[in-house]
Amino acid sequence: MTEFSEAFRILPRVTPETEHFWRGGAEGKLQFLRCADCGTWIHPPSPVCPNCLSRNIAVEAASGRAVVHTFTINHQPWIPTFDPPYVVAIVELPEQADLRLTTNLVGIEPDAVWIGMPVRVVFEHRNDNGYEVWLPLFEPAEPEVADDSHLVPVAVSDGREVPA
């Protein structure tokens, strides 16, 4: 299984505008800006809602679920100690169609990744001499139950009702 906790990573420069994103993982939260008026999720962070131009924007946690929109198995050594092969993916969050993150997939062999695969966030805590960030990575997840019709009891021949 791919894990990167020992590999060198270039860390993001955290600013007041991005701190909710890079440090939300301290509380296990994948946080974005969201328009408090129309509900549009905003990423990367911006001081204005792109949908309704409201400036009434607040930090909100997303579900942490996502689907692999696309991915690549990288084989080229780009960064010392970050040894290939590893998976870079663009995941799309169910909250909004254009809410995507470029990330790494962990807890799965690269060859087992597929487009459309349900994943969930898992944070990798980095502490570089007191400079802390929580990188949102993603691992395989069970499919979200979007349709519970299969739980509706159905009649079987002996008269009992059981879940389908």
Partner 1 sequence: MTAARQPVPEGRLERTTIISGVGQSAVGRRLYRDPLDLSIEAALDAIADAGLTPADIDGLATYPGNQDIPPGFSGVGVTEVQDALRLNLNWFSGGLEAPGQLGSVINAICAVATGLCNHVLCFRTVWEASAQGDKGRASVTMGGGGGGGGMYRASSFMQWTLPFAAPSAAIWIAMMAERHFHEFGTTREQLGQIALSSRRNAARNPNAIYTDPMSMDDYLSVRMISTPLCLYDCDAPADGSTAVIVSRASHADSIDHPAANVEAVGTALRGRPSWDQFDDLTTMALRDAAAMMWERTDLKPADVDIAELYDGFSFITLAWLEALGFCGHGEGGPWLEGGARIALDSGELPLNTHGGQLSAGRLHGYGFLHEACTQLWGRGGDRQVRHKGGPSGRPQTAVVGAGGGPLGGCLLLRA
Smallest distance from the beta carbon of 151 to partner 1, in angstroms? 31
- Contact flag: residue 5 with partner 1 (CB under 8 A): no
Q: Answer yes or no whether residue 104 interacts with partner 1 by CB under 8 A.
A: yes
159 binding partner 1? (CB under 8 A): no
- Collapsing DSSP states into helix, strand and coil, what is residue 150? helix
| Residue 16 binding partner 1, by CB under 8 A | no
Q: How far is the CB of 12 from partner 1 (least distance, A)?
A: 4
60 close to 31: Cβ distance less than 8 angstroms:
yes
Closest Cα to residue 80, out of 163, 155, 8, 10? 8
Residue given tokens 């169910």 in the structure block: 94
Q: Is there a contact between 32 and 99 (Cβ–Cβ < 8 Å)?
A: yes
* Binding region for partner 1 (CB under 8 A): 4, 7, 9-15, 18, 43-44, 69-79, 82, 86, 88-90, 98, 100-104, 115, 128, 131, 133, 135, 137
